[in-house]
Structure formats: structure tokens, C-alpha cells
Amino acid sequence: MDEFDALDRILDYEAGPDYWYDYAIDLAHEQIKKLSPEDWEMLQKCWSEKDLQWQRHLAQVIGDGDPTIVLPILSKMVPSPDSELAEDALESL
């Protein structure tokens, strides 16, 4: 769970878009690669309960994960009423 908690903190950090695109997105990409099967299970259970900014960040980096887990999550993001989330999810597909 430590790896999931680290990813959660990275995705949740609010410092503005410059920080996200200049620094944090790279950390999140690396953190996704470290997730254990248990971490992925936790992610599957909780992603939809997170705020939209967190979900957008996840959609931008989740493509680095196992496609069998990632595709169902992204497919649930695509019909989102939030156009930015839907677009980020489509780009990760």
C-alpha cells in the first residue's frame, strides 16, 4: 500500500498546472510502474471517489500500467460529463 499511498499523494498535490506538467507527472508515471497487484486493486476500488483533478491526473499517467487493469478504468472515465477527464482518458487509450 505504500506505493499506492505515494501515487495518491502525487495525484492529489495541488500546486498548479506548471508543477504538474513540469515535475509531478513524471513522478506519477514512475510511481504507476511500482504498483503491486494489491495497489492496483485499491486503485480500481477508489479512483471514482476521488476529486476530478485527481482523476484527470490519473488518466494522464495510467497508460503505463497493466492494460487488463487500465482499460476498464479508462473506459469508465470516457463517458464522464467532465470533458477534460474524458479527453485525458481517450488520449491514454
What are the structural domain ranges in the chain?
2-92
Position 1 scores a pLDDT of 59
pLDDT per residue as tens, the chain (93 positions): 599 999 999 999 887 778 899 999 999 999 999 999 999 999 999 999 999 999 999 999 999 888 999 999 999 999 999 999 999 999 998
Output the furthest CA–CA distance in the chain (Å, rounded).
32
User: Which candidate, 88, 31, 86, places its Cα nearest to that of 59?
Assistant: 88
User: Which candidate, 68, 20, 24, 60, places its Cα nearest to that of 44?
Assistant: 68
H helices of the chain, in order, are: 2-12, 17-19, 25-32, 37-46, 52-61, 67-77, 83-92
Position 8 scores a pLDDT of 96
Position 45 scores a pLDDT of 95
Position 14 scores a pLDDT of 80
From the number of C-beta atoms within 10 Å of its C-beta (0-12, 13-18, 19+), residue 88 rates as: buried
